[in-house]
């Protein structure tokens, strides 16, 4: 008895291995070290004591600190800004510094700026409107560069310096030793640009009522970052790739007309000098209002202020610790509201400043969106550490510590489209979100746009969906398909310096955001992803992370090897395309098949001797309906055998499958990705299966899977929820979907 059962088992084994499933060849294609899963050791910088292999700052990590004390004065009528700036530079590095590099961003608007010169031009203007007038019709350029009046040492003596476009080198009298401090002063002024006519991330907007709103940033000479990754980060500012900045403490006095309302980075030091008693009272009320914004200045009050002009000046005094930059907004046109946000027991203020032109949209949404953003981002990263976040209405979207400038202007009659409202909610979420990346997790924006824009656009998706579950984000994997499937000669890897990438928006915002969303939802799952993402955010809070620190931390905190994902998604322009190439169906029969006979002949086996000892796997023809399908237990000799088995095996054998499908998946796309499947059965029920990307490790062109089922499969869909940015879904279904009927195809042909 024992022997017979052994014999039967071995026959079953022979039959299944010979006739049914041919195991995939385990032979790798080409050199294994060239495959899509090879580790990133050749690409990432070697870990050291400042940046560890785990992706955390090392024990020898240091960063410079720069403190600023500034006196700033606005000449409202002339549109000029004056500054007197005292800088304290702390050399926390282990290096001797012979010179310091200062960023002069406003020189991008200097008369001799090279920024317009590097752009290829064509003259295709058909007409002039207010928005295009200055670009097409003005002979001379606006002169918005810095006028540096002096650069002086602490003792008042002049410091030797050299200006190269947007960068200024200050030659130190003697090298600055590790741990030493250097104090110096710069006096400057510049003409403020009209950001509507001349563009820019800062400037003023003039209104027909004779007033302007000023949103002012990059307005003072700022230190470049010095670190062990770039040395001095002194790549020129061409107007696109943003900023690399050190943290420091700011003490800033801003002198503006007395009837202006003003917000800036930092904590207001002298509310009694600049706010009326009523306004101070309203602020106190707002600090306790966690549900709705409270007006500090109403629209009625702002409209009244528009018609008057104070001849007096007021000085607003702000202090901000541990910030990488400083910006402010000022105008007599501003309406002002604020509400309290509870961040883990700490009260933070959400604040908005907007002219009446922003209403009714702004009073309805701005401050609430700020509050929602602070709450959501804090959940996914760390508790928001500053005391406030301000959203200012301006026709742009730009971020600074604690304050940002956002678009979203209704029509003059106050009506607005759903699209405009969505755009405004999106931009406020995005720009307030930048407080986290890069204002606190302070990556090098000049070098890597994606590190702040990509990470921020990703968290933005989750914050927007929290504000409105039906929000259309435009940053999901399916949204990046047209870009990734587009002309390869206009694509750059995400890992490119920002000034050199084609299609800046999709490259640096949407693709990294969609990639991170895919990592969270599809590849890692929210639990592992969120922990790793939070770990990265906390590790690099108030520090300067690099891409390697991010890639390494995400793996370090999750136990997932994601090198294949970083390599494909961030370092190449490959795209996802996975499909079903072929489906073979098999069923069980007691009649020897042609294939069985062939194999038997080769093995010198007489199949007649195995009658009632073997069943055969027959392949169904395409479209063939299999009738009276059987499972192993439907054959008497097999059932008799099953009856002799231990209970546990018997019950499993009774569930033996009736249908066998060998599915070949193809991968015309260069990226490896998980295969996500939806199987639909004859009774309408559905089943999902996900195979990790590692399924492609031995053969990246095609892989096979066998499905053994009790119900017939009627359809197979790859990536049914469009999670993987698959650029061509025409091969994603079996049986193939006929998209158009024959007549439509014929019509298309005739049209040519």
How far apart (Å, rounded) are the C-alpha atoms in residues 595 and 611? 16
Shortest-Cβ-distance residue relative to Zn ion: 453
Size of the site for Zn ion (CB under 5 A): 1
Cβ 314 vs Cβ 274: under 8 Å: yes
Q: Taking the complex as a whole, how short is the minimal distance between the CB of residue 505 and Zn ion, in angstroms?
A: 10
Quote the Cα angle for 490-492-493, to 5°: 155
Q: In the complex with Zn ion, which residue's Cβ is closer, 457 or 546?
A: 457
What φ, ψ does residue 651 adopt, rounded to 5°? -65, -35
Q: In the complex with Zn ion, which residue's Cβ is closer, 151 or 439?
A: 439
Q: In the complex with Zn ion, which residue's Cβ is closer, 448 or 575?
A: 448
> Helix and strand tally (H, E) in the chain?
19, 31
Q: Taking the complex as a whole, how short is the minimal distance between the CB of residue 243 and Zn ion, in angstroms?
A: 12
Cβ 687 vs Cβ 603: under 8 Å: no
Q: Taking the complex as a whole, how short is the minimal distance between the CB of residue 349 and Zn ion, in angstroms?
A: 22
Q: Pattern 3-22, binding to Zn ion, x per CB under 5 A?
A: --------------------
Beta-bridge mates of residue 213: 205
Q: Taking the complex as a whole, how short is the minimal distance between the CB of residue 568 and Zn ion, in angstroms?
A: 24
Q: In the complex with Zn ion, which residue's Cβ is closer, 19 or 436?
A: 436
Q: In the complex with Zn ion, which residue's Cβ is closer, 447 or 732?
A: 447
Q: Taking the complex as a whole, how short is the minimal distance between the CB of residue 438 and Zn ion, in angstroms?
A: 9
Question: Is beta strand 97-103 parallel, antiparallel or unpaired with respect to 267-268?
Answer: unpaired
What φ, ψ does residue 143 adopt, rounded to 5°? -100, 90
Give the N- to C-terminal CA distance of the chain in Å, as an integer. Answer: 73
Q: Pattern 410-449, binding to Zn ion, x per CB under 5 A?
A: ----------------------------------------
**Angle, helices 361-380/418-433, rounded to nearest 10 degrees:** 40
Q: Taking the complex as a whole, how short is the minimal distance between the CB of residue 498 and Zn ion, in angstroms?
A: 12
Cβ 223 vs Cβ 242: under 8 Å: no
Q: Taking the complex as a whole, how short is the minimal distance between the CB of residue 538 and Zn ion, in angstroms?
A: 21
Helical H runs in 353-417? 361-380
- How far is the CA of 683 from the CAs of 595, 658, 680, in angstroms? 31, 15, 8
DSSP state of 566: I
Q: Taking the complex as a whole, how short is the minimal distance between the CB of residue 116 and Zn ion, in angstroms?
A: 23
Q: In the complex with Zn ion, which residue's Cβ is closer, 438 or 669?
A: 438
Q: In the complex with Zn ion, which residue's Cβ is closer, 453 or 530?
A: 453
The helix (H) or strand (E) run that includes residue 296 is: strand 294-297
Q: In the complex with Zn ion, which residue's Cβ is closer, 509 or 659?
A: 509
Helical H runs in 519-593? 526-539, 547-556, 563-565, 571
Q: Taking the complex as a whole, how short is the minimal distance between the CB of residue 307 and Zn ion, in angstroms?
A: 36
Q: Taking the complex as a whole, how short is the minimal distance between the CB of residue 373 and Zn ion, in angstroms?
A: 13
Q: In the complex with Zn ion, which residue's Cβ is closer, 453 or 464?
A: 453
Q: Taking the complex as a whole, how short is the minimal distance between the CB of residue 504 and Zn ion, in angstroms?
A: 11
Question: Is beta strand 80-90 parallel, antiparallel or unpaired with respect to 97-103?
Answer: unpaired
Q: In the complex with Zn ion, which residue's Cβ is closer, 509 or 661?
A: 509
Q: In the complex with Zn ion, which residue's Cβ is closer, 105 or 453?
A: 453
Residue 665: partners with Cβ closer than 8 Å, 6 or more residues away: 578, 579, 580, 581, 675, 702, 703, 704, 705, 718
Q: Which letter, b or e, does each residue of 30-62 get, where b requires 16 or more Cβ atoms within 10 Å of its Cβ?
A: eeeeebbbeebeebbeebeebbbebbbbeeebb
Contact positions with Zn ion (CB under 5 A) in 448-467 = 453
Contacting positions for Zn ion (CB under 5 A): 453
């Amino acid at each position: 008895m024992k022997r017979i059962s052994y014999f039967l088992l071995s026959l079953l084994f022979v039959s299944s291995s010979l006739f049914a499933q041919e195991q995939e060849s385990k032979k790798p294609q080409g050199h294994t070290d060239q495959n899509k899963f090879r580790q990133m050791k050749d690409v990432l910088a070697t870990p050291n004591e400042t940046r560890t292999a785990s992706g955390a700052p090392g024990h020898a990590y240091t960063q410079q600190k720069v403190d600023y004390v500034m006196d700033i004065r606005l000449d409202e009528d002339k549109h000029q800004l004056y500054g007197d700036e005292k800088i304290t530079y702390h050399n926390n590095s282990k290096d001797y510094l012979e010179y310091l590099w200062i960023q002069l961003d406003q020189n991008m608007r200097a008369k001799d700026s090279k920024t317009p010169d590097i752009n290829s031009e064509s003259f295709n203007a058909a007409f002039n409107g207010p928005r295009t007038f200055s670009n097409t019709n003005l002979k001379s350029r606006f002169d918005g560069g810095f006028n540096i009046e002096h650069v002086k040492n602490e003792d008042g003596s002049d410091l030797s310096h050299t200006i190269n476009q947007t960068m200024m080198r200050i030659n130190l009298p003697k090298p600055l030793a590790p741990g030493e401090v250097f104090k110096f002063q710069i006096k400057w002024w510049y003409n403020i640009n009209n950001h509507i006519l001349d563009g820019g991330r800062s400037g003023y907007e003039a209104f027909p009522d004779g007033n302007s709103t000023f949103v002012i940033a990059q307005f003072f000479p700022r230190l470049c970052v010095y670190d062990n990754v770039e040395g001095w980060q002194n790549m020129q500012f061409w107007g696109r790739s943003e900023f690399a900045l050190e943290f420091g403490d700011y003490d800033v006095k801003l002198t503006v007309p007395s009837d202006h309302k003003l917000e800036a980075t930092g904590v207001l030091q002298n509310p009694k000098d600049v706010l009326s008693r009523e306004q101070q009272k309203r602020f106190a009320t707002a600090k306790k209002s966690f549900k709705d914004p409270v007006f500090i200045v109403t629209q009625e009050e702002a409209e009244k202020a528009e018609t008057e002009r104070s001849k007096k000046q007021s000085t607003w005094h702000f202090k901000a610790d541990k910030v990488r930059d400083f910006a402010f907004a000022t105008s007599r046109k501003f309406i002002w509201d604020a509400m309290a946000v509870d961040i883990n027991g700490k009260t933070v203020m959400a604040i908005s400043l907007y002219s009446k032109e922003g209403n009714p949209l702004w009073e309805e949404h701005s401050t609430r969106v700020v509050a929602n953003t602070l709450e959501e981002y804090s959940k996914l990263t760390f508790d928001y550490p500053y005391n406030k976040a301000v959203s200012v209405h301006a026709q742009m979207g730009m971020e600074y510590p604690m304050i940002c400038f956002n678009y979203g202007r209704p029509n003059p009659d106050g009506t607005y489209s759903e699209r405009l409202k969505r755009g405004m909610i999106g931009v406020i979420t995005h720009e307030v979100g930048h407080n986290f990346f890069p204002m606190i997790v302070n990556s090098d924006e000049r070098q890597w746009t994606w590190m702040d824009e990509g990470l921020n656009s990703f968290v933005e998706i989750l914050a927007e969906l929290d504000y409105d579950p039906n929000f259309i984000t435009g940053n999901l994997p399916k949204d990046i398909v047209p870009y990734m499937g587009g002309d390869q000669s206009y694509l750059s890897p995400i890992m490119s310096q920002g000034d050199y990438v084609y299609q800046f928006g999709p490259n640096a915002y949407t693709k990294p955001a969609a990639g991170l969303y895919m990592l969270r939802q599809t590849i890692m799952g929210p639990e592992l992803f969120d922990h790793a993402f939070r770990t990265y955010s906390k590790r690099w809070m108030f520090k300067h992370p690099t891409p390697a620190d991010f890639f390494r931390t995400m793996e370090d905190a999750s136990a997932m090897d994601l090198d294949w994902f970083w390599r494909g998604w961030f370092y190449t322009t490959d795209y996802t395309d996975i499909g079903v190439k072929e489906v073979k169906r098999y069923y069980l029969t007691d009649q020897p098949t042609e294939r069985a006979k062939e194999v038997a002949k080769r093995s010198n086996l007489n199949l007649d001797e195995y009658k009632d000892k073997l069943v055969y796997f027959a392949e169904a023809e395409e479209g063939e309906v299999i009738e009276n399908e059987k499972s192993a237990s439907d054959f008497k000799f097999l059932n008799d055998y099953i009856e002799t088995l231990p209970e546990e095996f018997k019950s499993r054998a009774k569930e033996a499958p009736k249908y066998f499908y060998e599915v070949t998946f193809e991968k015309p796309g260069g990226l490896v990705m998980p295969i996500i499947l939806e199987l639909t059965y004859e009774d309408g029920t559905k089943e999902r299966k996900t195979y990790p990307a590692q399924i492609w490790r031995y053969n990246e062109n095609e892989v096979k899977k066998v499905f053994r089922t009790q119900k017939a499969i009627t359809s197979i869909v790859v990536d049914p929820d469009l999670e993987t940015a698959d650029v061509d879904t025409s091969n994603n279904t079996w049986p193939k979907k006929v998209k158009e009927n024959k007549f439509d195809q014929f019509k298309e042909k005739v049209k040519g």
